[in-house]
Amino acid sequence: SPSLRAAAMATGPPPPLEPVPLPVFAEEGFGDKFLRKTRENPLVPLGCLCTLGVLTYGLISFKRGNTRRSQLMMRARILAQGFTFAALLGGMVVTAMKSR
């Protein structure tokens, strides 16, 4: 109905004729992004470092012939990777909740 359309148009300001410009953000370098992401979720880099340390120690043990310790370190590596993955998922959930 024409009167309904006229009432709807009268309630608000007219739409802008030109598109609204999008905000321009400064270019973020790798180091800046890494530091920002580390501050947002410090458990992920910690889990990566733990995984790398356990993996390195396990490979050194394997090279020296200590198969028992090598196997133990490979199992510990799986746990460290699981922790890192859980931290990553947790961080994603927290970020998604913040954006709502």
Q: Please compute the mean of the pLDDT values over residues 19-26 and round it to a whole number.
A: 78
Helices 67-99 and 43-63 cross at an angle (nearest 10°) of 170
Token pair, residue 78, equals 């799986």
Q: Please compute the mean of the pLDDT values over residues 52-71 and round it to a whole number.
A: 97
For the full predicted model, state whether its pTM sits above 0.85. Answer: no
Does some domain include residue 46? yes
Percent of the chain with pLDDT over 90: 55
Does some domain include residue 15? no
pLDDT band at 18 (very low <50, low <70, confident <90, very high): confident
**Cα separation, 100 vs 95, whole angstroms:** 9
Average pLDDT, rounded, for the chain: 87
Does some domain include residue 2? no
Q: Is 51 exposed, middle or buried (0-12, 13-18, 19+ CB in 10 A)?
A: buried
Does some domain include residue 79? yes
Does some domain include residue 9? no
Number of domains the chain contains: 1
Look at residues 37, 77, 25 and name the one whose alpha carbon lies nearest to residue 56: 77
The parent domain of residue 37 ranges over 30-99
Does some domain include residue 38? yes
